[in-house]
Amino acid sequence: MIDKLKGLKQWLQAGKDVHGAEQLEELWAAASSYKRSTLPNPETAFEKFSARHGLSQTAGRKTGRIRKLNLLRAAAAVLVLVVAGFLLKSVFFAPDVAMLTVATDAQTTKVFSLSDGSVVTLNRNSQLIYPEKFSGDIRTVQLVGEGFFEVSADKAHPFIVETEAGQVRVLGTKFNVRAFPEEHSLEVFVKEGRVAVMPKGGKSYELDPGAFLAFDQASAKIGLTRKSGDNDLAWKTGKLSYQNAPVSEVVKAVERLYGVKASIENEDLADCPVYFNVSVGKLQDIWNVLETTCKGIDVEVAGEDEFLIRGHCCQ
């Protein structure tokens, strides 16, 4: 029995389920103890029965040995079934984890906390799927759209943001992820700490504070730059601020912020430098500020969520 228990321990140590191993060792020990102390002695019992009924001692001992062997085989079979059932449950029937979903519409953003204390700010038209309570070695969430993550530090449990275009892996930091399906791209900006970004089908990139990565799925191209990130986070901070920037850059920021399309009538207008500071609110208010800032231009409605910017701005 000692050799068998030693073999069992060696087999268990080769696995990964420490809690399961402890339970199996307890089960083995309990089964051994039960057999030794609780099971009746078939040989002794049969000798008594033979004495009462006049049977020979030789026949009694032979029959007792057979019955004892059968009992041992039955106990071994039961133990094997219990072990097999336990392993199957561990591998295929892990405890169910309730999944939660937070989604936003075109008009709202949301701020909420995860079970580990991490805080997520979700942009408009976005969705985050996450477990009610994290378990296992990693903390994984799924993002569709854009979100700013303030992850609670936990070196033993990396935090992973899964998107259609790739994943972002961190231990504890602040960063922004943009991955709208219709854009077929992945953008990551690091506000604090370090993150590892792995675009779909590509290698991993490590980003430090101020780093901005843009991955285009169609071309598989990677762009790495450095930014303050303030205007990229305008959806969260509520402010857009440009100093001596071309009109085209301001218009592009408004497009991203509100999910609209805006065409500029000519290149001269697109290249005109402007100073543009505005609090994020209604889209029409943004266009009004642009018209006031850059006198001589008009923003016209060209269709549903489409605009045409025309006129002259440069003096």
pLDDT digits (tens, 9 = 90+) for 171-193: 889 999 999 999 999 999 999 99
Task: Give the per-residue pLDDT at 314.
Answer: 74
Joined tokens for residue 218: 């169609």
Q: Is the pLDDT of residue 18 over 50?
A: no
Burial of 68 (0-12, 13-18, 19+ CB in 10 A): middle
Q: Give the pLDDT of residue 163.
A: 96
Residue 6 has pLDDT above 60, yes or no: no
Which pLDDT score, from 0 to 100, does residue 315 have?
63
Domain spanning 238-311: CATH 3.55.50.30? yes
What pLDDT shows up at residue 22? Answer: 52
Q: What is d(CA 17, CA 87) in angstroms, rounded to the nearest whole number?
A: 9
Name which of 13-17, 168-172, 266-270, 296-300 the model is least confident about: 13-17
What lies within 8 Å, CB to CB, of 223 at 6+ separation is 213, 214, 215, 216
The mean pLDDT value for 10-24 works out to: 46
Confidence at 262, pLDDT banded by 50, 70, 90: very high
| pLDDT of res. 4 | 45
Residue 139: pLDDT over 90: yes
Residue 52: the pLDDT is 52
Measured CA distances, 314 to 268, 269, 295, 296 (Å): 8, 7, 9, 9
Range with lowest mean pLDDT among 18-22, 76-80, 200-204: 76-80
Q: What is the pLDDT of residue 228?
A: 80
Q: What is the pLDDT of residue 97?
A: 78
Task: Please work out, in degrees rounded to the nearest 5, the angle formed at the alpha carbon of residue 293 by the alpha carbons of 290 and 297.
Answer: 65
pLDDT tier, 296 (very low <50, low <70, confident <90, very high otherwise): confident
pTM (2 d.p.): 0.67
Closest C-alpha among 100, 105, 134, 98 to residue 117: 134
DSSP code per residue over 136-194:
SS-EEEEEEEEEEEEPPP-TTS-EEEEETTEEEEESS-EEEEEE-GGGTEEEEEEEES-
Query: Residue 35: pLDDT above 50?
Result: no
Residue 312 has pLDDT above 80, yes or no: yes
The tens digit of pLDDT for each residue in 195-238 reads 999 998 888 999 999 999 999 999 999 999 998 878 889 999 99
CATH (residue range 99-226): 2.60.120.1440
* Tens digits of residue pLDDT in 97-108: 799 999 999 889
Mean pLDDT computed over every residue of the chain? 78
Provide the Cα torsion 274, 277, 279, 284; round to 10°: -20
